[in-house]
Amino acid sequence: MICLRAYKYRIYPNREQRGKLAVQFGHARFVYNYALNARKEHYRKTGKGLSYSATAKMLPGMKKELEWLREADSQVLQQKLRDLDRAYVNFFQKRAAYPRFRSKHSKQSIRYPQRFKIIGNRIRLPKVGDVKIILHRRMEGVAKNVTVSRTKSGRYFASVRCEVVIPVSDNGHPPVGVDLGIRHFAILSTGEKVAHPSYLRKSEKRLVRFQRMLSKKKKGSANRGKMRLKVARLHERVADRRKDFLDKQSYRLTTQYGAIGLESLNIRGMVRNHCLAKSVSDSGWGMFVRQCEYKAAVNGASVHHADRFFPSSKMCNVCGVVNSELKLGDRIWTCGNCGTEHDRDINAAVNLEKLCILLGLWFFMA
């Protein structure tokens, strides 16, 4: 099986290279915003959209009119237009909001589809040079493109996308059901409960203090810039710790179990609930599910999703009777049919495991 895998490495450009990357970021951002404005104006006047090819044809004229655009790599500008086209596709397929103009204060990124090369501990980037890279893990497969990014806190990364051939095999491990929750991050059908790290909650007081200090700084001042950097670093620290936790948990599940049963959670709807929004966002359920899916393919496991309205918590895992009167606050309940006492979360996980076995058998028979 052929799949795409990204290897993300920290890079350390020197002062001159940071200046050259700033040029690439700035010019790419300008082209993105210019094309977005052109698309909006064209739709306002004609009621029709513009395709990627139509915006790409605008580039030669833009370079003649604005000669400084020639400082940027031509493929970087083309890839930025592809990013805009993808943003529109995601919007129309209801996976994202309408594309917005990019700010110089937000995360910056550019993509090289070719003409890059890793030589020892350096990565060669067109119109930038040989940049120091920390290869902390071995890269496998054929490199297809590289995305260079700068975070809000000023860190630089290179994400190399590779085409990898993975042998299709079954790891032979037993199935497991996983119920994701607020009180505990995950409850397994084995009875194991994974504690919620709550990284955002733990950093909340410090973050509020920093944001309050930032709001009092004069706009455009050096002190405001320093404070914005502190806020960005704290946000990134929380995100990095959360991602590390999710990586480890998803890897453990996909290597210890052969099939994983998960709920189909309406995360967008849950985030709209102001009582749950912060806890749901801090959990990172969406990222966890995506990590389980792609790691399962690599580790010989499979992931099966229950229907969104599957009554995993309300259905007795012994006799199958559904307790329609069960409330969210009922953590322990007894089945009125067979008399079995259930822990709400463990019962849900066991039902997900059973469903996982049925779905896996159906796919096998098909």
* Catalytic annotation, residues: 179, 263, 345
Query: Is there a contact between 11 and 157 (Cβ–Cβ < 8 Å)?
Result: yes
Query: Is there a contact between 187 and 346 (Cβ–Cβ < 8 Å)?
Result: yes
Residue type, 103: S
Tokens representing 325?
A: 């009167």
Query: How crowded is residue 278: how many other Cβ atoms within 10 Å of its Cβ?
Result: 14
Closest CA to 176 of 4, 67, 304, 54: 304
Q: CA dihedral defined by 68, 72, 76, 81, rounded to 10 degrees?
A: -10
For residues 316-343, one letter each, b for 16 or more C-beta atoms within 10 angstroms of the residue's C-beta and e for the rest, the string is bbeeeeebeebeeeeeebebeeeeeebe
157 pairs with which residues across the strands? 10, 149
How many Å apart are CA 95 and CA 92, to the nearest integer? Answer: 8
Q: Strand (E) positions, 173-284?
A: 175-180, 184-188, 193-195, 259-262
Provide the CB-side half-sphere exposure for 232 (13 A, CA). Answer: 15
